[in-house]
Amino acid sequence: MNRRRTAALDLLIIIALTLLVGSILILACGAGPGEALSLFVQGIFKNKSSMVEVLVKACPLILTSLGCAVAYRAGFFTIGAEGQFYIGAMVTTALSLGLTGVPGWLRIIIALAGGFVSGALWALIAAVLKARFDISEIIITIMLNYIAIYFLGYAVRSFLMDPAGNVPQSAKIPKDGQLQVLMQGTRFHAGILIAFCSVVIVWYILTRLTAGYELKVVGLNQRAASVNGISVIRNIILSAFLSGGLAALAGGIEVIAIQKKLLEGISGGCGYTAVLIALIAGNRPFGVLAASILYAAVQSGAGSMQRQLGVPSSIVNILIGTLVVLILAKDLFHPRRRSSGADTQKGGSGV
Amino acid sequence: MMQQILTLSFMTAFLSAAVRLAMPLMYGGLGEIYAEKSGILNIGMEGVMLCGAFFSFAGAWYSGSLAVGLVCGIAGGIAVALIHGLLSIYLAKDQSVSGLALNMLTLGLTSFLFKLMSAGQGYQQIQTLPSVALPGLSALPLIGEAFFNKDILTYLLYVLLILTHIFYKKTNLGLSFAAIGENPEAAASAGVPVHRFQWIAMLLNGILGGIAGAYLVLVQLGVFTEDMVSGRGYIALATVIFGRYTPFGMFGAALVFGAANALQIRLQTIGVSISPYLLGLLPYLITIFAMLGAVGKNAKPESLSKPYIKGSR
Amino acid sequence: MALLEMRDICKSFSGVYANDHISLTVEKGEIHALLGENGAGKTTLVNILYGIYTADEGQVLWKGSPVDFHSPADAIASGIGMVQQHFSLVRRMSVLDNVIMNLQGNSFFLDRKASSRRLMELADKYGMHVDPQAMVCDLSVGEQQRVEILKALYRDVELLILDEPTGVLTPQETEHFFRILRTLKAEGYGILIITHRMSEIMEISDRVSILRDGRKAAELTTADTDPAELARYMIGRNLKEAYDLDQVSSQDALLTLENVCLQGGGRVRPVNDVSLTVHKGEILGIAGVEGNGQKELAEIVAGVKRCSSGRITLDGKDITDLNARRSYEAGISYISDDRLRDSLVTDMDVQENLILKEFRNEPFSTHRRMHFKAITKNAEEKVETYKIKTSGKGSVKTPVRLMSGGNQQKLIIARELTDSTVLVVASQPTRGLDIGATEFVRECLVSQRNAGKGVLLISADLEEILELSDRIAVVFGGRIVGILDRKDATEQQIGLLMGGIRQKEVGA
């Protein structure tokens, strides 16, 4: 009981401090906090469309963060969602544009499935290097991100470039190959439902199936897993596969539901944000859902502040970074608990 | 004949560019050597460098002095490194998580501050640090131009490399600093103040990482752009692994990366018909192969990224 | 005036007294033994003395004047050295570098030549030969201990604290080690030695202080006491006499190893041409100094490691190439020497740890779906049967890391020893446990034996081996150097074998 109360108090302090940092930054821009706040709230709740927009923004975050959460459960500390997002976007674009003879609904399925598999395979590169040679997955996945980004830059200037235009982007995805808007007057698209379903499915796998139990054991103690007959390599590869697939699915959906074409910078950095969202959510699927929507809401609010007041939207990155740092630093609020930290801390990147 | 001159001048320019492009990696890598040999993994090197870059630019811009810029850059780097120290040494938190969070934070912060500073208008380049040819050495064929006709920070790095090597190999203090990354309990029982030394190592990490970022601005580009470190912090970590945690090994590894970068730039300038985007991914691809090449050479400090908590085993 | 005096030392961890008003003195030229069970507070006490912990109350007097150590550096500077149970050596540094690390007298630049000379002199004086240039990770445990002692002596200490120094030595090495201690004593060093072996206390110490539950139970002059009295003070009752091994083992082979080898990374094979048999209803003890291939051997039998050549059969079936999962399914239970790393997921709770081997099977899951009711029910039954104390109202949802070592080990035994077990591989099963838990574990092993199953018992504790085994195999350098019958075996003889002297030479 006591422990729960301290946890709640910690949370309050963390939120208060984060808001404080936010206010200071807004003030630094010369904006009035009252005005900023009202614009912030308006940005989210102005009308149905703006509220739906939060979900639209949350959609890629949910999928990429979910992917990170799956990997972290198995102790595979991937930062590769960004690159997998790009790979998924590219492959989905290529399939959507290439499979001209196929009916639209089938093309959507094939394109998204193809994107999923390609991202999954992309993630396997790092997983195999980690499982086979014990090479740091952090550095490898980040390098793979840059490779994917540069490769996309090449793709939209060559084989995927719109032959009719001269800007670095692909041709438009044909109407019948796009994910439909499900609510008139908004951008609520079918991809959001896919993201919600993914949360439920991943939750079910992680908490109700033996596969989830195996992942958890591998993530918490690799040595005990192998001594007790659970294959570490198999589980890391499995989690990386699922993780990469989900991030790539996010990329595919972004292409055929929102942008309707492939262009540079299409991820908006959500692959990196996903890492922190998964951590904040404690790698729990529904936590990821909630944190992603919250993040998207903050982003919407900040966007409105930027448009009206010129407060740079990078404030969102600062806030989420601050949030994670404060979560890590929460023991500072009551120094007495620090000494007993010994039994809760493990070495390595046991996330 | 004509062709030969072309090749030699190409090689000279190429090598010179390689050294220049490797320099931020070398400073970052050297800072990371100090941190990692004392058991602290600073994935946040990217953020340290980014802060170094931004604050050096801001400092130089407002003061008009490169020296002030450098000092500001160093201060920025120290700030990030010490926050990482607080989380990983004092609070014994997961070092990868802390480092990544700091990278995100600094990316947001530097972009934010830069926007505030520029208020929508573009910046002119600041004047960059001039090269000073070392008499005698700079006249050496090929390498003279590349290694000894450079800015003062490059020469400082050479000195630091040698000092670091001597420090770890020959000095009493160096022995203790290396021991805490291998087995902090053993070091502590020999009376080494583990946490204090880790703090010192993080301070050095911040200083050197700050210079690494400042180098990008004050020597290479003369401007700041958002996310301008673009993965160099992570590549610096790779150079340390590839260089087997020794200063000279890291130096060699960073040169390889610098060369990869220089190669893609040189190839572009002489008009090779490969897309610049394909060439641009070359350094990152090489990093992966370098990591593969370092497999099996297990030079990693045994207690790297394991928090040391006094009195526990 | 005593060299060291500790007065009324108190130290508590989260409200529980680890040291409750303990006083102790060590004189110059005296060997003072500190005796007590695991958890009695011995290590806490010496850690306070060495500056690793700070006492809540009490005073430490060094040569008559009060001192206040905040770190080992302070203790070392005053002249106190400590050899910890788990050695404090940097494995990937040379012997010399370990010895001269952070010396007060060091100049800024190291003078390795001069230091090496002094180290060699010191080593020669006490007959502790080591190569200063050798890497610590290439040394045997006995040699590493010598390095630890030299490291302390090199620092000109006057008081030497030794925490369980003989646990890793053969009887002959222990003999040699005691000779060194006697020399040091004669030279006027004060020595505080922590041990739980009565025979050693009787042999080496002048005085003995006994701790129980954080309090000092008695202080005795060694010459006036006997092991039985020491044991009474230590555990508050008499030791269990002997285990019921009357029932004769069967002649049917259960587990056979034929020429089993394991190729290691280096030149030497960790397991080299091992052949042995465990019969039904038999405990085969494997004795040997740690690091002679026992761990690898256990892992090969349990399927965790695969042997590089040779053949293993269980009840006639070839199990050479089975992995850990298949080995368990074939009936091999494995109790590892490293509970926390190998056998438990400490951040998971009791019920999750209890299904670590069986989660794929009914009733815990069907078609890959987990059944949590059955999992909880199973845990509650096991907790009841094995009297596992989970902290927090008997909840099976307690994270295992919050439990004591004894209860963790009970949990492992509850999981591993099932009806389908035919062979138990138990590696150091009682290490670090208190006497109650130790007896419980030993009884479990004996009852497995008496139920006609086979037990492969690996232990560095010779007393344990002699108490429990029907036959005893001794390993040295990855080989079996002798197999003895329980009735023929003596500690002396096993000791020689453990030191690498072959059975023929022993003349058994």
Per-residue confidence (pLDDT) for residue A349, from 0 to 100: 35
The residues in B 60-119 lying below 8 A from A, measured between CB atoms, are 83, 86-87, 90-98, 100-109, 111-112, 115-116
Cα torsion through C8, C14, C16, C22, rounded to 10: -20
Q: pLDDT > 90: what percent of chain C?
A: 50
Q: Considering its fold, how many domains does chain B have in total? A: 1
Last residue of one domain, picked from the residues C181, C203, C235: C235
Report yes or no on A319 lying in a domain. Answer: no
Q: How sure is the predictor about B139, in pLDDT bands with cuts at 50, 70 and 90? A: confident
Whether pLDDT at C359 is above 90: yes
CB contact under 8 A, A314 and B104: no
Nearest to C130 by CA among C113, C148, C103, C153: C148
Ranking A288-302, B201-215, C234-248 by mean pLDDT, the lowest is C234-248
List pLDDT tens digits, range A120-142.
999 999 999 998 888 888 889 98
Rounded to 5 degrees, φ, ψ at C277 are -135, 135
Determine the residue among C301, C359, C404 to mutate to test chain A binding: the one whose Cβ has the most chain A Cβ atoms within 10 Å. Answer: C359
Arithmetic mean of pLDDT, B124-138:
83
Per-residue confidence (pLDDT) for residue A2, from 0 to 100: 64
Per-residue confidence (pLDDT) for residue A346, from 0 to 100: 34
Arithmetic mean of pLDDT, A285-296:
94
Per-residue confidence (pLDDT) for residue A46, from 0 to 100: 87
Tell me the C-alpha distance between C384 and C374, whole Å: 15
Report yes or no on B128 lying in a domain. Answer: no
> Using CB atoms, which residue from A208, A211, A224 is nearest to C343?
A224
Report yes or no on C368 lying in a domain. Answer: no
Nearest to C21 by CA among C65, C46, C56, C67: C56
My answer on whether C120 and C210 are in the same domain is yes
Whether pLDDT at A265 is above 80: yes
Report yes or no on C117 lying in a domain. Answer: yes
Query: CB under 8 Å to C410, separation ≥6 — which residues?
Result: C386, C387, C388, C437, C440, C441
My answer on whether C334 and C482 are in the same domain is yes
Last residue of one domain, picked from the residues C235, C263, C283: C235
The residue assigned the tokens 């990490």 is B205
CB contact under 8 A, C352 and A226: no
Per-residue confidence (pLDDT) for residue B99, from 0 to 100: 93
Mean pLDDT computed over every residue of chain A: 88
CA distance B17 to chain A (A): 21
Q: How sure is the predictor about B195, in pLDDT bands with cuts at 50, 70 and 90? A: very high
Cβ contacts of C304 on chain A, cutoff 8 Å: 226-227
Beta carbons of C398 and C391 less than 8 angstroms apart: yes
The residue assigned the tokens 């560019």 is B17
Per-residue confidence (pLDDT) for residue C508, from 0 to 100: 44
CA distance B307 to chain C (A): 17
Q: How sure is the predictor about C171, in pLDDT bands with cuts at 50, 70 and 90? A: confident
- Give the count of beta carbons closer than 10 Å to the beta carbon of residue B138: 17
Q: Which helix (H) or strand (E) holds C259?
A: strand C253-262
Last residue of one domain, picked from the residues C203, C235, C267: C235
My answer on whether C192 and C284 are in the same domain is no
The residue among A350 and B244 whose pLDDT is bigger is B244
Chain pair A-C, CB pairs under 8 angstroms: 67
> Using CB atoms, which residue from B172, B179, B302 is nearest to C110?
B172
> Using CB atoms, which residue from C299, C324, C402 is nearest to A228?
C324
Cβ contacts of A2 on chain C, cutoff 8 Å: none
Report yes or no on A151 lying in a domain. Answer: yes
Whether pLDDT at C17 is above 50: yes
The answer to whether residue C360 neighbours chain B at the CB level (below 8 Å) is no
Can you give the residue range of the structural domain that contains C257? Answer: 253-341+417-506
Q: Which helix (H) or strand (E) holds C425?
A: strand C423-427
Per-residue confidence (pLDDT) for residue B268, from 0 to 100: 76
**Residue B163: helix, strand or coil by DSSP?**
helix
Mean pLDDT computed over every residue of chain C: 88
Report yes or no on C403 lying in a domain. Answer: no
Mean pLDDT computed over every residue of chain B: 89
My answer on whether C299 and C443 are in the same domain is yes
CB contact under 8 A, C356 and A224: yes
Per-residue confidence (pLDDT) for residue B290, from 0 to 100: 85
Report yes or no on C400 lying in a domain. Answer: no
Cβ contacts of B29 on chain A, cutoff 8 Å: none
Report yes or no on B313 lying in a domain. Answer: no
Per-residue confidence (pLDDT) for residue B5, from 0 to 100: 47
Q: Which of A78-87, B12-21, C204-213 ranks highest by mean pLDDT?
A: A78-87
Report yes or no on C364 lying in a domain. Answer: no
Per-residue confidence (pLDDT) for residue C36, from 0 to 100: 84
My answer on whether C305 and C439 are in the same domain is yes
Arithmetic mean of pLDDT, A302-319:
86
Whether pLDDT at A340 is above 60: no
Cβ contacts of A217 on chain C, cutoff 8 Å: 345, 348, 356
* Beta-bridge mates of residue A169: A263
Per-residue confidence (pLDDT) for residue C291, from 0 to 100: 79
CB contact under 8 A, C356 and A217: yes
Angle at C313 between CA C307 and CA C319, to 5 degrees: 60
Whether pLDDT at B148 is above 90: no
Cβ contacts of C402 on chain A, cutoff 8 Å: 343
DSSP characters over A283-313? T-HHHHHHHHHHHHHHHHHHHHHHHHH---T
Nearest to C12 by CA among C55, C48, C65: C55
Q: Which chains, if any, share at least 3 CB pairs under 8 A with chain C?
A: A, B
Q: How sure is the predictor about B133, in pLDDT bands with cuts at 50, 70 and 90? A: confident
> Using CB atoms, which residue from A77, A139, A345 is nearest to B309?
A345
What residue of C is the nearest CA neighbor of B311? C52
Q: How sure is the predictor about A173, in pLDDT bands with cuts at 50, 70 and 90? A: very high
What's CA C398's distance to the chain center, in Å? 27
* Beta-bridge mates of residue B150: B132
Q: Considering its fold, how many domains does chain A have in total? A: 1
The residue among A250 and B290 whose pLDDT is bigger is A250
List pLDDT tens digits, range A67-101.
999 999 999 999 999 999 999 999 999 999 998 88
Whether pLDDT at B76 is above 50: yes
Per-residue confidence (pLDDT) for residue A339, from 0 to 100: 42
Can you give the residue range of the structural domain that contains B66? Answer: 2-117+150-293
Q: pLDDT > 70: what percent of chain C?
A: 96
My answer on whether C279 and C317 are in the same domain is yes
Arithmetic mean of pLDDT, B259-265:
85
Report yes or no on B202 lying in a domain. Answer: yes
The residue among B13 and A151 whose pLDDT is bigger is A151
Report yes or no on B158 lying in a domain. Answer: yes
Tell me the C-alpha distance between C292 and B84, whole Å: 42
Can you give the residue range of the structural domain that contains A277? Answer: 63-281
My answer on whether C169 and C23 are in the same domain is yes
CB contact under 8 A, C92 and B192: no
My answer on whether C211 and C279 are in the same domain is no
Alpha-helical (H) ranges within C106-170 are 112-126, 141-154
Whether pLDDT at A164 is above 60: yes
Arithmetic mean of pLDDT, C42-67:
90
My answer on whether C130 and C20 are in the same domain is yes
My answer on whether C204 and C291 are in the same domain is no
* Beta-bridge mates of residue C480: C475
CATH assignment at residue C433: 3.40.50.300
Arithmetic mean of pLDDT, A173-181:
89
Q: Considering its fold, how many domains does chain C have in total? A: 2
CATH assignment at residue B36: 1.10.3470
